[in-house]
Amino acid sequence: MTLAIIGGTGLTRIEALNITGQQELETPFGPPSAPYVFGELNGQSLIFLARHGNPHRIPPHKINYRANIWGLKQLGAAEIIGVAAVGGISPSMGPAKIAIPAQLIDYSYGREHTFFADDLEHVTHIDFTEPYTPSLRRRIVQAAAAAGIEVYDGGVYGCTQGPRLETVAEIKRMANDGCDLVGMTGMPEAALARELELPYANISVVANWAAGIVDGEITMAEIEKNLLAGMSNAIALLQATVLSATAG
Ligand SMILES: CSC[C@H]1O[C@H](OP(=O)(O)O)[C@H](O)[C@@H]1O
Ligand code: HPA
């Protein structure tokens, strides 16, 4: 049961990963974001992929999501955890907090978002009632509880197009829609994993209050500072999740 981790902003590599190899891949959809890195985390083998490339150079709307997910399937990944930096919209989603969202709303556009685009004979509609695989979500939440890592169990991730951050009015609209978190990469990543029948869950690390939630502009310095704290907890959570898989 090989776990794959897709790391985003603030998680281009995992220091604690004992790297055993890496592989570049061509896919029918073009090149993935980076070479796939094979390694062991707490004795458990896994595959790591840097969503924005390593070094971080691909903006969210230019990521080849189809190649990334297809490559993971080809390499034998059995499940995927996507780690994402997000803006916090709900009062409980403050900087450096971690959430395991249960739902999402897709505001992105113009992205290659399906593997079934060219198959005119078989129109395929995947079920997406629960966009994040409930059993994998549960495992992460339980691992967090066992390790004493504070996470918010649930919430709605809203995926915007980027690369710019949102306006105050856009965030107000998203809050009205029920979004608790805002990021730019959650879709089509989650849907593509579902199309290939790969269980998928998301660990969201809050980098900043979303636009207008508190006064002032959003700065990269603030984002980097919060991610430094939040990502070290996210890595501890990944380690706890991997250990729980070994134990189970
Ligand atoms: C101002 S940082 C925005 C950048 O960070 C997030 O990336 P990821 O989801 O890969 O961690 C967000 O989606 C944007 O791409
Ligand atoms: O405020 C944000 N908006 C969208 N994506 C983000 N990723 C980190 N922070 C944000």
CATH superfamily of 2-113+128-245: Nucleoside phosphorylase domain (3.40.50.1580)
Q: Give the residue, by CA position, lying nearest to ligand 1 atom 9.
A: 84
Complex ipTM, two decimals? 0.99
Pocket test for ligand 2, best of 166, 168, 222 (most atoms within 8 A of CB): 166
Ligand 2: nearest atom to the Cα of 84? 7
Closest CA to 99 of 140, 50, 147, 131: 140
Measured in Å, residue 11 CA sits from the centre of ligand 2 at 15
Predicted confidence at residue 244, as pLDDT, reads 83
Predicted confidence at residue 122, as pLDDT, reads 77
Check: CB of residue 102 under 8 Å from CB of residue 137: yes
Residue ranges for the chain with pLDDT beneath 50: 248
Ligand 1 and 8: CB distance under 6 A: yes
Q: Determine the distance from the C-alpha atom of residue 68 to the mean position of all C-alpha atoms in its chain, rounded to a whole number.
A: 12
Ligand 1 and 162: CB distance under 6 A: yes
Predicted confidence at residue 247, as pLDDT, reads 60
Predicted confidence at residue 5, as pLDDT, reads 98
Closest CA to 16 of 37, 33, 39: 39
Ligand 1 and 230: CB distance under 6 A: no
Ligand 1: nearest atom to the Cα of 85? 11
Measured in Å, residue 152 CA sits from the centre of ligand 2 at 18
Measured in Å, residue 138 CA sits from the centre of ligand 2 at 25
Predicted confidence at residue 104, as pLDDT, reads 98
Please spell the DSSP secondary structure of 49-107, one letter per residue.
EETTTTTT---GGG--HHHHHHHHHHTTEEEEEEEEEEEE-STT--TT-EEE-SEEEE-
Check: CB of residue 115 under 8 Å from CB of residue 195: yes
